[in-house]
Amino acid sequence: MTAYLDHAATTPMLPGAVRVLTEQLSRTGNPSSLHAAGRAARRVVEESRERLAASLGARPSEVVWTAGGTEADNLALKGLFWARRTQDPGRLRVVVSAVEHHAVLDPAFWLAEHAGAELVLLPVDGSGVVDVDALRDELATNGDRVALVSVMWANNEVGTLQPLDDVVGLARRYGVPVHADAVQAVGQVPVDFARSGLDALTVSGHKLGGPGNVGALLARRGLELTPVLHGGGQERGVRSGTLDAPVLASVAEAVVEATGARDRTAARVAALRDDLVTRVRAAVPDAVLRGPADASTGGAADAAHRLPNNAHFTFPGCEGDSLLYLLDSAGVEASTGSACQAGVPRPSHVLLAMGVDEVDARGALRFSLGHTSSAADVDALVEALPGVVERARAAGLAVVR
């Protein structure tokens, strides 16, 4: 039996989402067609839009369907930057946190390299929390030149929940729109678009129990976005392309299920996570929990400032990839949380931004739980981990010698 501890990468589809997708797949109709089949497909699309919006505190007209979180992030950053630059050519500064997902960081760097943007990376503290004072200073100095701010709701590697109320409050004083990648947050913590004050928010289907290759950008009414895709003018004219009614129905059902069961699931998963943290530390005493921790409880995961399903460790003297492969061979699936570019393993940019030494950052493993997780998954990890760490350290010593 395999212990799956990589729900932050993708989580199994929820039963209702599978049922809805299966029911809808046999139906025919392009939502843009005017005949009966097309109108029926359009009805599915709009009902799905309404269901997703209601679950996330948005208006249906604020939901822009996309092919996933990466496209939604690209539309938010590029669309906002180009629209703002058109309105005011002096607004060239793109402000993002240093720990963003690459779906935000890479478009931001691309805008700086190819579109004349001035990129500003906000620093974070040792827990991965964005430096609000740095944002305050940036806006006080360059508020009339900032095109947009993008700070994720929750970090995908170490689980840090960001102080979005503070970020939005500061940006609003200067008339600067704020986008948040909420891909990891939806279904884990309360997410209410209207209450957040955000201008744009990214959602991804497969991260919360829906199908892959589908997501949405919630964009407040009146927000100007320059299209990234051009074609038939679907989705408010900012995201062209034929909509897949069955997939949209499925992801809407997943959002409804995930948010409806959120409190119950989060409590159960957080208890599993806390057990995992305690037992990993007992099994490997020098393992270091990264991300928000509560000093009053001996450094346990900080429930108020961290996703309930996240446990991220670094293991001294180990390479994360070695740990990953050894655990995999023992039937435990996790993630390093780091990028691998051109076949060369690189330490996580998130950990480096948090001030973790590059050598230590290479020994990272992320364990993330979800709706199918059980105590048996934690048992399997704890049983395999000491031997895996010992072998990984031995392999590292052999390479050094």
Angle at CA 137, nearest 5°, toward 135 and 141? 120
Closest CA to 348 of 105, 174, 6: 105
First CA to last CA distance, the chain: 37
Write out the DSSP string of 24-37.
HHT----TT--SHH
Tell me, yes or no, if 340 is annotated catalytic: yes
Most distant CA atoms of the chain, gap in Å: 72
CA dist 308 → 9, 75, 170, 221, 383 (Å): 15, 29, 27, 32, 23
Q: How far is CA 152 from CA 129, 136, 167, 287, in A?
A: 10, 17, 11, 27
| Residue that is written with structure tokens 């948040």 in the block | 180
Q: How far apart are CA 171 and CA 169, in angstroms?
A: 6
Kindly report the backbone phi and psi dihedral angles of residue 99, in degrees, each rounded to the nearest multiple of 5, phi listed first: -110, 20
Which of these, 210, 245, 216, lies nearest to 25 by C-alpha position?
245
What are the strands, taking DSSP E only, across 48-186? 63-66, 93-97, 118-122, 146-150, 178-181
CA-closest candidate to residue 104, choices 37, 177, 183, 47: 183
Residue carrying the six token digits 């670094």: 314
Tokens 């039963």 appear where? Answer: 15
Distances (CA, A) of 28 to 35, 351, 371: 11, 48, 32
Q: Quick one: which of 185, 249, 143 has its CA closest to 57?
A: 185
Tokens 């740095």, residue? 134
Enumerate the H helices of 185-309 as residue ranges: 193-196, 245-260, 262-283
How far, in Å, CA of 401 to CA of 398, rounded? Answer: 5
Q: Which of 340, 375, 394, 397 is catalytic?
A: 340
Strand 178-181 to 200-204 pairing: parallel
The catalytic residue positions are 340
